[in-house]
A and B are shown apart, each in its own frame.
Chain A
Amino acid sequence: MSARATVLLGYIPVSKLECFSTAHDARQLAGYRLYHYCMSKILEPLVEAGRSGVEMLCADGSVRCVFPILAAYIADHPEQCLVVNCQENHCPRGKIDPNKRGELDGCLLRSQKETLRQLNAHKSSDGNDPLPTGLRPVYEPFWARLPLCDIFSCITPDILHQLHKGVFKDHLVNWITAVVGKDELDRRFKAMANVPGLRHFKKGISHVQQWTGREHKEMQKVFVVLVAGAVSSTVLSVVQALIDFIYYAQLHLHTQKTINALKDSLATFHRHKEVFRDLKIREHFNISKIHSMVHYAEAISERGALDGYNTELSERLHIDFAKEGYRAGNQRDYIAQMTVWLERREAIKDRKEYFRWLSSLGSSNTAKPVKASADGASNADDSDDDSDEDIRFTPSTTPRLYHIAKNCPFRRVPLHQLHNGHGASELLGALCTFVKTHLPSAPALPRPNYSYSVYKQLKIELPWSPFISSEERVEKVRAIAPVHGQGRRQGSPGYFDPILVIEDMDAFKSRSPTAPLAGA
């Protein structure tokens, strides 16, 4: 369900379990077993329902026989290991030796049948030998009885922790910092031009204490270009490969081409990573988050694009469901109070929806607004799959729409001010040429004493791409003259964002990699 409709199913008890000794990890093991026991209790109704199906009335009015099957388990690494029942230095999805996780190949997917067999064998033995593949002796994992369940392939990639925080920040940035030097890296960040859409790290990055997903993404946008010139071409190809992987992994839509590109960038990384060993920065690459990347391509083919498996969502929901619910009560018998609070909130939400539906009946406007125009310029509703032609994939051929301020901020600006403040010394000549070429019926050519209405910025709509996002994307272009400081008021620098204009479309379309700007 892409609408992210989520329901809280239960509260698993957290206890110190002091009735267990801490020797031989007995207390820890008891904790794992309690978790699995509780999960099997909560999910018990799924066993029969998944086997025989349950008839349900669906939102479109039809009755369907529904088989609820566990399809995915979205969690971070420690919880993945808890669910799958393995030690944290192992891969939860596959059986690879924990010392060999630095390589590209060799991690075969674990099998539920085999794992349960191994657990049973261990249970019947005296239990002294360690279990294979890092399994923990929890003999009744909650997924054992769920029909059509393959828990290992349910473990989905976790982009936030594995790619942004792990591969990028904890590893790549640290390696590059070791190569380039902390101060030099900061200097390069500070030297970045101020461009709309890109965050400018004015003071560099080494002093930043708290990193959020936002910061990681902003750093990734500039990182390849930033280190170019400061590192060897081999190191640069590693950086590029990893950043490519991170971007491909986040696509909302995939084809075999994009999945292959994802695999290729990982292969490129593995091909060249030795350079960091040569530079004495890393002795090995046996890191769980780096290893996790080998499973991404398969996870996407099997379960879909990764924007549907976002751990950030459940962290957000934790705040909504747990923290807020707790604070709404008097902190005594808090779980009972939270459940009451939740039920009331759901009742209110249902009522609101009912009223909204009632009022929509009153108006005859139940048809969906027609968004796609004949020239295919606008977005189509993602949910509009009744149409025969899926407009999502029609490339946009129209000129882009642009937005400009309704009220012009600077009217009657004389030409000399445009020369001095904006540096537009060629403006008159260019304007005359434009008028002669495109407006031949104009009564007169622009003269030096004319004055102009000047806008500060232009917003251009980027062509819509289903691969990236279903939302509108806009690019800002600024032309702002510098303002001189007066007394206590500080001046501000000028901002003039460059644009490339395609003058010869045919030359541009047939351009080669050695002449990337042909026709522009």
Chain B
Amino acid sequence: MTSKYTFFKLIDQLPRRDGMKWTCELINVEGNILGEGGQPLTEVVELWSRNPVECVRELIGNPAFRDMMAYAPERVYLDEEGKERVIDEMWTADWWWRTQVRIMMFYVP
């Protein structure tokens, strides 16, 4: 038993992000060239992926990012009268605000 093996065994015992497990899907691609039997040639390719919603869940809930998160759009101004608007991060720009409004219009909790 090599120490590398025991090392990996220990790592594999660490808690894992369950939602972010990799899955492999086999895709059968059918071509347009006919083979010997008169059937189109095929090729099988692998698609490895993770669930993006679960990945978002992991990122949004990660305590390491607690102080860096923005959860809602804002309109930010340089002056008190609100005349000079500032745009920097995405939550201060127009698209997020508009999209948030659209979602709120149809959201039923």
Contacts of B55 in A (CB 8 A): 7, 9
Contacting pair A9 B65 (CB below 8 A):
no
| Per-residue contact bits, chain B 5-24, to A (CB 8 Å; 1 contact, 0 not) | 00010011011110011101
Known: A300-B93, A383-B68, A393-B78. A10 touches B56 (CB 8 A): no
Contacts of B95 in A (CB 8 A): 71, 153, 302-303
| Per-residue contact bits, chain B 75-93, to A (CB 8 Å; 1 contact, 0 not) | 0101000001111111111
Known: A17-B29, A19-B40, A19-B43. A346 touches B20 (CB 8 A): yes
Tell me the chain B residues, 29-73 only, with Cβ under 8 Å from chain A.
29-33, 40-43, 45-71
Check A34 for interface membership: any CB of B closer than 8 A.
yes
Known: A41-B25, A347-B15, A348-B14. A9 touches B50 (CB 8 A): yes
Partner of B52, one of A3, A57, A64, A68: A68
Cα separation A301 to B96 with both chains bound (whole Å): 11
Contacting pair B88 A252 (CB below 8 A):
yes
Cα separation A245 to B49 with both chains bound (whole Å): 39
Contacts of B59 in A (CB 8 A): 1, 5, 7
Contacting pair A60 B52 (CB below 8 A):
no
Contacts of A463 in B (CB 8 A): none
Cα separation A390 to B75 with both chains bound (whole Å): 13
Contacting pair A57 B61 (CB below 8 A):
yes
In the complex, what's the smallest C-beta–C-beta distance from B10 to chain A, in angstroms?
Answer: 10
Cα separation A456 to B88 with both chains bound (whole Å): 39
Cα separation A341 to B59 with both chains bound (whole Å): 19
Contacts of A230 in B (CB 8 A): none
Check A373 for interface membership: any CB of B closer than 8 A.
no
Contacts of B29 in A (CB 8 A): 15, 17, 19, 30, 34
Contacting pair B16 A347 (CB below 8 A):
yes
Contacts of B1 in A (CB 8 A): none
Known: A19-B40, A71-B96, A300-B93. A255 touches B45 (CB 8 A): no
Chain B interface SS verdict (over half): mixed
Cα separation A78 to B52 with both chains bound (whole Å): 24
Contacting pair A46 B53 (CB below 8 A):
yes
Known: A71-B96, A336-B24, A348-B11. A303 touches B32 (CB 8 A): no
Contacting pair B60 A58 (CB below 8 A):
yes
Tell me the chain A residues, 22-48 only, with Cβ under 8 Å from chain B.
26, 30, 34, 37-38, 41-43, 45-46
Cβ-closest chain A residue relative to B31: A19
Contacting pair B107 A65 (CB below 8 A):
yes
Contacting pair A19 B89 (CB below 8 A):
no
| Per-residue contact bits, chain A 69-97, to B (CB 8 Å; 1 contact, 0 not) | 10110000000000000000000000000
Cβ-closest chain B residue relative to A67: B103
Known: A19-B40, A302-B93, A304-B93. A59 touches B87 (CB 8 A): no
Cα separation A225 to B28 with both chains bound (whole Å): 60
In the complex, what's the smallest C-beta–C-beta distance from A232 to chain B, in angstroms?
Answer: 36
Known: A9-B52, A30-B29, A344-B8. A254 touches B87 (CB 8 A): yes
Contacting pair B65 A305 (CB below 8 A):
no
Check A2 for interface membership: any CB of B closer than 8 A.
yes
Check A353 for interface membership: any CB of B closer than 8 A.
yes
In the complex, what's the smallest C-beta–C-beta distance from A148 to chain B, in angstroms?
Answer: 6
Cβ-closest chain B residue relative to A302: B95
In the complex, what's the smallest C-beta–C-beta distance from B49 to chain A, in angstroms?
Answer: 4
Contacts of A69 in B (CB 8 A): 99
Check A357 for interface membership: any CB of B closer than 8 A.
yes
Contacting pair B60 A66 (CB below 8 A):
yes
Check A13 for interface membership: any CB of B closer than 8 A.
yes
Check A21 for interface membership: any CB of B closer than 8 A.
yes
Contacting pair B89 A308 (CB below 8 A):
yes
Contacts of A38 in B (CB 8 A): 27, 47
Contacts of B63 in A (CB 8 A): 59, 353, 357
In the complex, what's the smallest C-beta–C-beta distance from B102 to chain A, in angstroms?
Answer: 6
Cα separation A17 to B30 with both chains bound (whole Å): 9
Cα separation A15 to B22 with both chains bound (whole Å): 21
In the complex, what's the smallest C-beta–C-beta distance from A377 to chain B, in angstroms?
Answer: 20
Cβ-closest chain A residue relative to B41: A19
Partner of A308, one of B25, B41, B90: B90
Cβ-closest chain A residue relative to B74: A385
Contacts of B42 in A (CB 8 A): 19
Partner of A7, one of B30, B32, B46, B58: B58
Contacts of B64 in A (CB 8 A): 59, 353
Cα separation A119 to B97 with both chains bound (whole Å): 30
Check A54 for interface membership: any CB of B closer than 8 A.
yes
Contacting pair B66 A60 (CB below 8 A):
yes
Contacts of A54 in B (CB 8 A): 53, 57
Cβ-closest chain A residue relative to B100: A67
| Per-residue contact bits, chain A 100-130, to B (CB 8 Å; 1 contact, 0 not) | 0000000000000000000000000000000
Q: Known A-B contacts: A148-B103, A259-B87, A304-B92. Give 19 more (CB < 8 A).
A: A1-B69, A9-B50, A20-B31, A21-B33, A37-B27, A38-B27, A41-B47, A56-B57, A59-B62, A256-B84, A301-B93, A304-B88, A335-B46, A343-B22, A347-B14, A347-B17, A350-B14, A350-B15, A393-B78
Q: 13 A–B contact pairs at CB < 8 A?
A: A11-B48, A13-B46, A15-B43, A45-B53, A56-B61, A58-B71, A59-B65, A60-B69, A66-B57, A253-B87, A302-B95, A304-B89, A383-B67
Chain A positions near chain B (C-beta within 8 angstroms): 1-3, 5, 7-13, 15, 17-21, 26, 30, 34, 37-38, 41-43, 45-46, 49, 53-54, 56-60, 64-69, 71-72, 148, 153, 252-257, 259, 300-305, 308, 335-336, 339, 342-344, 346-348, 350-351, 353, 357, 383, 390, 393, 466
- Nearest 4 Cβ contacts at the A-B interface: A19-B31, A10-B49, A19-B41, A13-B45
